[in-house]
């Protein structure tokens, strides 16, 4: 088969303003048309998995506002029909993806990290571990929506049931969600996430009526981060649950885009 020739306009003179680009060895990214460079954002999904489309939807939103966004599918065994498992997920792989996005030619070299729900936990934990070791290539800015402030246990979509449903099982605290440097020994459930080790700017948000992950966790994170230097902002959405409704989500996206624009800079001309 012949190679696809890149064009700036299609039939009728319509120009594609958001384009997909393959991030080698990882997956698809979304960004503005043109050479850039564009500030990068690595997006971490929650227990819905990387193939549900939600993180890709968010990546397109970032791309529409001048960012090069990569939705990182980290759940294990997931596909278009199953969310997969968050179990012994190697955080090193996410650190490698962060580095690959930073070095990707369309990227400006400044990269933010944004996680939602379990992805928020993932983002906070990765940032704390990289900071603890003084590892190069840490995120230039970090945002987390509805995160946990402690390490949580594993999740497997195949066995998940709502509370009260037949077959519901209690959370197994012995099953670990994450690994680092080939081991999960230091990442036991209920261990506090030491995000205060990370010195970069942080954005936290949460729905006050969240019945999935308590808003108390974000309040504790905000209090702990308030004791160290570095830019931090916290937004709590009154009357909102785990998923924000339209008005709150629109406001949240405006705040999130302002945060990343301020911390990462503007993209290049398309």
List the one residue out of 64, 115, 57 whose CA is nearest residue 86: 115
How does pLDDT run across 115-159, given as a tens digit for each residue?
999 999 999 999 999 999 999 999 999 999 999 999 999 887 656
- R_g (Cα) of the chain, nearest Å: 19
- Please give the C-alpha separations between residue 255 and each of 48, 235, 258, in angstroms, as whole numbers: 24, 9, 5
Residue 77 has pLDDT above 80, yes or no: yes
Residue 210 has pLDDT above 60, yes or no: yes
How does pLDDT run across 93-120, given as a tens digit for each residue?
999 999 999 999 999 999 999 999 999 9
pLDDT at 82: 84
What predicted TM-score, i.e. pTM, was given to this entire model?
0.91
Average pLDDT, the chain: 90
pLDDT at 157: 67
Tokens of 191: 């261990």
Contact 87, 72 (CB under 8 A): no
Residue 269 has pLDDT above 70, yes or no: no
Distance CA 185, CA 179 (A): 8
Residue with more model confidence, 177 or 268: 177
Contact 178, 184 (CB under 8 A): yes
User: Given strand 27-32, what is the order of strands in its sheet?
Assistant: 18-23, 27-32, 68-72, 38-44, 107-116, 141-145, 202-207, 232-237
Phi, psi of 18 (to 5 degrees): -125, 125
With a pLDDT cut of 90, the percent of the chain lying above it is 77
pLDDT at 230: 83
How does pLDDT run across 41-73, given as a tens digit for each residue?
999 999 998 889 999 999 999 999 999 999 999
pLDDT at 211: 93
Q: Which of 77-91, 96-110, 204-218 has the lowest mean pLDDT?
A: 77-91
Cβ-based burial of 148 (10 A; exposed 0-12, middle 13-18, buried ≥19): buried
pLDDT at 79: 83
pLDDT at 4: 47
């Amino acid at each position: 088969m012949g190679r696809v020739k890149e064009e700036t306009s299609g039939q009728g003179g319509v120009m594609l303003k958001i384009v997909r680009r393959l991030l080698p060895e990882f997956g698809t990214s979304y960004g503005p048309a043109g050479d850039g460079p564009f500030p990068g954002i690595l997006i971490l999904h929650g227990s819905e998995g990387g193939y549900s489309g939600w993180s890709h939807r968010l990546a397109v939103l970032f791309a529409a506002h001048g960012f090069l966004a990569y939705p990182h599918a980290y759940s294990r065994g997931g596909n278009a029909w199953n969310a997969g498992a968050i179990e012994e997920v190697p955080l090193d792989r996410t650190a490698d993806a962060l580095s690959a996005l930073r070095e990707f030619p369309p990227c400006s070299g400044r990269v933010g990290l944004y996680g939602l729900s379990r992805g928020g936990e993932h983002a906070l934990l990765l940032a704390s571990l990289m900071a603890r070791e003084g590892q190069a290539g840490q995120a230039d800015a970090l945002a987390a929506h509805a995160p946990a402030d402690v390490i949580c246990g594993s999740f497997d979509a195949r066995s998940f049931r709502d509370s009260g449903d037949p077959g519901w099982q209690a959370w197994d605290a012995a099953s670990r969600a994450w690994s680092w440097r080939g081991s999960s020994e230091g990442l036991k459930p209920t261990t506090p996430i030491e995000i205060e080790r990370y010195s970069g700017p942080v954005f936290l948000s949460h729905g006050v009526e969240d019945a999935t992950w308590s808003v108390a966790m974000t309040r504790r994170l905000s209090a702990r981060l308030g004791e160290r230097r570095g830019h931090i902002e916290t937004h709590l959405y009154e009357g909102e649950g785990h998923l924000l409704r339209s008005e709150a989500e629109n406001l949240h996206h405006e705040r999130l885009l302002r945060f990343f624009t301020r911390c990462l800079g503007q993209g290049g001309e398309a």
